[in-house]
């Protein structure tokens, strides 16, 4: 047993890693990614720049970025086995997150003997084509092969729709992906670090992380958050709807956070990006309704859960932004994975450099001294 055997449910407040990748200050509502304030990085960087930053610790210069993007784009084709697996998953109607989890396990088939950096690029490059391919298969639509001349985000939307998206839409998606690229020792990142810390491999770590991200308490919330806005439908129904939900003891998706006790700074960045998109080419009425639902939810959460400081989290505006970009709700969480994969891999590299096997202890609360009873006497 350790010197401090106190059990911390959910490991709350326990520091289990040192990282240079991101700093989350839950009291100030501040997120720093590799030294940059989120607000600055998210709205300006291309996603590939953020990958490079998280994996190498520095921003790339122009030639470096060009080579990095080209190399990554060269892995966009899915291995044949990945495609067959996705086709089989579609026949069974698997959820997009389950399909992505299965597909990810095959992403390194053709690069098995290569370095971890090659695997990192292949995995990161293949997440969007796998989601887009699966979504089209599931909806009985012809699969669109990737294009190598487009950015990773642009190619994703192209593979989903067959149309090359406009710059405003791509900027919206890139801002989202950058915003969710890393976030301290969240559950999926912790899962990735636990796996890689055993000297297992990148694909296993990312596959495990996807499993952790799937749950509604982590990455599965944006779909339900948007459903709530649609169900409410008009501003005058918001108060009754939300009050009834809270009276039934239900949680409001898109609100509350384990670490942030003030407004999640990612919500602000995404709210601004969503407003920009909706003003440029979207349904402003939906945006206004969401703002009203948010304000009502916060007021009622303060009333029903006093002292809990439950505020808007990243998922609420994720939902609005991704809907505005034209994505269907079932692929919101896979799209989250498309951004967070940069952080998972950055943490794997960091864990490989500095880490130690992660092996906490448990406090045994079961019985002792029981006596074995042979099966025929039970």
Residues at the interface with ligand COA (CB under 6 A): 217, 221, 251-258, 305, 308, 310, 313-315
Which of residues 240 and 354 has its CB atom nearest to ligand COA in the complex? 240
Nearest distance, CB of residue 259 and ligand COA, angstroms: 8
- Using Cβ positions, the residue closest to ligand COA within the complex turns out to be 256
Please identify which of the residues 218, 257, 323, 347 carries the catalytic annotation: 257
Nearest distance, CB of residue 344 and ligand COA, angstroms: 16
Which of residues 16 and 217 has its CB atom nearest to ligand COA in the complex? 217
Which of residues 217 and 284 has its CB atom nearest to ligand COA in the complex? 217
Please identify which of the residues 49, 174, 275, 315 carries the catalytic annotation: 315
Q: Is 361 one of the annotated active-site residues of the chain? A: no
Nearest distance, CB of residue 43 and ligand COA, angstroms: 20
Nearest distance, CB of residue 271 and ligand COA, angstroms: 15
Residue 240: partners with Cβ closer than 8 Å, 6 or more residues away: none
Q: Give burial (CB, 10 Å; 0-12/13-18/19+) of 258.
A: middle
In the 8-state DSSP scheme, what is residue 32? E
Q: How far apart are CA 236 and CA 296, in angstroms?
A: 10
Whether 216 contacts 110, CB under 8 Å: no
Question: What residue ranges in the chain does DSSP mark as E strands?
Answer: 22-25, 30-33, 36-37
Q: How far apart are CA 159 and CA 353, in angstroms?
A: 36
Whether 338 contacts 128, CB under 8 Å: yes
Which of residues 258 and 272 has its CB atom nearest to ligand COA in the complex? 258
Whether 55 contacts 346, CB under 8 Å: yes
Q: Is 315 one of the annotated active-site residues of the chain? A: yes
Which active-site residues does the annotation give?
Answer: 257, 315
């Amino acid at each position: 047993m350790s010197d401090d055997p106190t059990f911390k449910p959910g490991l709350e407040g326990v520091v289990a890693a040192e990282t240079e990748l991101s700093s989350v200050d839950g009291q100030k509502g501040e997120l720093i990614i590799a030294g940059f304030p989120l607000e600055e990085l998210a709205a300006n960087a291309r996603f590939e720049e953020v990958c490079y930053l998280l994996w190498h610790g520095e921003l790339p210069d122009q030639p470096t970025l060009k080579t990095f993007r080209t190399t990554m784009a060269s892995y966009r084709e899915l291995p044949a086995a990945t495609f067959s697996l996705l086709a089989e998953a579609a026949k069974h109607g698997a959820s997009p997150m389950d399909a992505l989890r299965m597909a990810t396990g095959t992403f390194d088939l053709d690069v098995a003997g290569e370095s971890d950096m090659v695997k990192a690029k292949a995995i990161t490059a293949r997440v969007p084509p796998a989601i887009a391919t699966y979504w089209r298969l599931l909806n009985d639509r012809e699969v669109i092969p990737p294009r190598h001349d487009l950015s990773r985000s642009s190619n994703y939307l192209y593979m989903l729709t067959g149309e090359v998206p406009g710059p405003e839409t791509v900027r919206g998606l890139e801002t989202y992906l950058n915003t969710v690229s890393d976030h301290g020792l969240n559950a999926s990142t912790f899962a990735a670090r636990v796996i890689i810390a055993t000297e297992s491999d990148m694909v296993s770590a990312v596959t495990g992380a996807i499993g952790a991200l799937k749950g509604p308490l982590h990455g599965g919330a944006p779909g339900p958050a948007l459903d709530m806005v649609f169900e409410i439908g008009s501003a005058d129904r918001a108060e009754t709807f939300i009050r009834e939900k809270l009276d039934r003891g239900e949680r409001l998706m898109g609100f509350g956070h384990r670490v942030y006790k003030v407004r999640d700074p990612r919500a602000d960045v995404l709210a601004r990006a969503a407003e920009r998109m909706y003003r440029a080419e979207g349904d402003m009425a939906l945006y206004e309704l969401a703002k009203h639902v948010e304000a009502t939810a916060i007021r009622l959460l303060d009333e029903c859960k006093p002292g809990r400081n439950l505020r808007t989290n990243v998922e609420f505006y994720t939902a609005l932004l991704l809907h505005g970009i034209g994505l269907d709700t079932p692929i919101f969480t896979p799209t989250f994975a498309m951004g967070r994969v940069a952080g998972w891999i950055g943490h794997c590299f960091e864990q490989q450099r500095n880490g130690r096997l992660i092996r906490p202890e448990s406090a045994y609360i079961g019985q002792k001294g029981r006596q074995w009873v042979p099966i025929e006497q039970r």
